[in-house]
Structure 1
Amino acid sequence: MCEADVDLGGPLADWNAHLSLVRDKAAPLPESLAALLVEVAEQLTATTADVPLAALRAVGVLERIAARVGREVVGAPPRTEFRSRWWLPGWGPPAPRP
């Protein structure tokens, strides 16, 4: 059996409907914030087509905002730039040169 023989339309539609219900009930966004996020997504999409590096820079800014606000929401202490990256494999301090 290959992928072309498997109909995912029904189960995928069910899953998407379930996610939509959970998302709407879990933490509804204020309308103004939802509209702002839609506008940001549209701007990022347009910028990606015109100036991809600017879009990438904007995504980095959004990631830092999301990380900071997420830590504030759960009451976690702020992290320094070094602590937040050094726990990732390959992001540690540079190895000493011989």
Structure 2
Amino acid sequence: MVDTHPALALRAELYHALAEVLVPPALWMTQPGMAWPLYEAVQALRPFSNSAQQAAETLTSIGTETEQERLARYEAVFMGNGRPRLWLYESMMVNGRLL
């Protein structure tokens, strides 16, 4: 049986869009945050979640950048030296330790 709860379906859309963000930058990422595919899902989740409210505000603040500018920002977050990889931060949050 498939759960048709709207918040769950919206979260699935959001996770799909976030997965796209974690691969080399998609061309849509050069557009302002309100044009990103995940923006509509975040907007729809606002009534269900304070985190979605904050995410919507953050996405609204993201402006247009060239592909080179966005790639440089992406590389600074995901490929920077001297910092644990992003997935390690999740590990620390979930498990209380890196790894």
Same fold per TM (> 0.5)? Answer: no
Q: What TM-score do the two structures reach when normalised by structure 1?
A: 0.32
* Highest RCO, 1 vs 2 (Cα 8 Å, sep ≥ 6): 2
Higher alpha-carbon Rg: 1
